[in-house]
Amino acid sequence: MRGYLIAAHLSVEVGHRVVLEALELEPLVALDLRLGEGSGAAVVMPILDAALALLGEMATFAEAGVAGARDAAGVSADDGPPPPPGP
């Protein structure tokens, strides 16, 4: 279940930190909120929406044809196909 939980913010309430530590969750923001009606979640939802949109819709440099772009392995879209593995 913990894999589906998102800690939106860190409340200034002492019990909130205790619960987050017990669940081994890191809050996304710390805004010193203590209102108790989910205001931290309301603040964080647009941030999560934007992050998911970036992950799902944004092209990599190579996919966008940006010259000189290299992926994590150092391969450039300009390099053509990688050589076959050596002996």
Q: Which is the catalytic residue, given 13, 21, 26, 37?
A: 37
How much of the chain is in helix, strand and coil states, percent to nearest 5?
A: 45, 5, 50
Residue type, 16: H
At residue 29, the 3 state secondary structure works out as strand
How many Å apart are CA 42 and CA 33, to the nearest integer?
12
Check if 13 is active-site. no
**Catalytic machinery residues:** 37
